[in-house]
Structure 1
Amino acid sequence: EKEKEKEKEEYELTCTPLFTKVVTLFTEQNNLHLAIPGGLIGVGTNLDPLLCRGDRLVGQVIGAPGTLPNVYIKLEMQYRLMRRCVGLKTRTKVPKVKRGEVLMVTVGSDAVGGRVIGTGGDLMRVVLSRPVCTDLLARVLLSRRVERHWRLIGWGQVTRGKEL
């Protein structure tokens, strides 16, 4: 089993930036001349539509080269669990997070699976199923699979990470 984990750790992921030109900006049905942070903004580019189909780019980060945060495959975070699980009819208490457990980690608008590789006190280390672009000190949401649905169980703040 340790050999399998070692193989997974040695498996090399790559992250390839997509370079494009922003052609249009819009929100709802209004064309925009500029965009500021906040709200939902549609970005029209000259990327091949194949890359964008099926909402494949949802949650991805856009910015000028050299201005974006680092890309991480492992995150360490300070976290807090809620007392009760959100969205359940019964008032179920949230059990502690365990090593090996799979959680959904929401970073910005990007929800990515993560396996807990360590916990201690209010710290947790998670290896992600795919890389995320985020700042240190960014806030994240934590969800757990409960009754066949992802349920919000807590939140955290990224303290460190392993860059890709």
Structure 2
Amino acid sequence: MSSLQCPATLLLVGAPAPSPGVRAQAPAELLERLHPRRVASVWSSPAAYAREAAAAVAATTGGPVVVRTELSPVGDGERGEDVVHRLREVLQEAADLHRGEAVVLVTHTGPLEVGLPRLARMAVRPHPLAAWGLVELEVDEEWWCRAWGVAHPEDADGAPTP
């Protein structure tokens, strides 16, 4: 990667698994936070509830939806290093394809909590990521986590939001 290229902004959303009989839907607050952003593409886990959320984000931001298995939840018996590897691969691909642009990736809290502190420099304090938490990752020569589960990506202290 060259410093002559613009960084990519990856907006990662931790989609919660639905409770039995209840469908998880992207809350209006999340859609409002993403609406003003210029989003080039929306990538999603193959889980049905994540795809539904990605479709809602895409309808709000105008980006197409791309489904990627690397954004799946942490599997039974899956090792942390395997989660980190698959997350690194898909995030790097999204960043390489969208230099100077923003991409929303709808994944799950597990891969984010396991992988990002190992992959990125943390400019914020990571804490357990709430359902629909938004994480902002800037990818250039280095990876920087600029916001973690905050109400607005500009609020970069990483403190949990009510």
Tell me, yes or no, whether TM beats 0.5: no
**Larger RCO (alpha carbons 8 Å, 6+ apart):** 2
Structure (1 or 2) with the greater strand fraction: 1
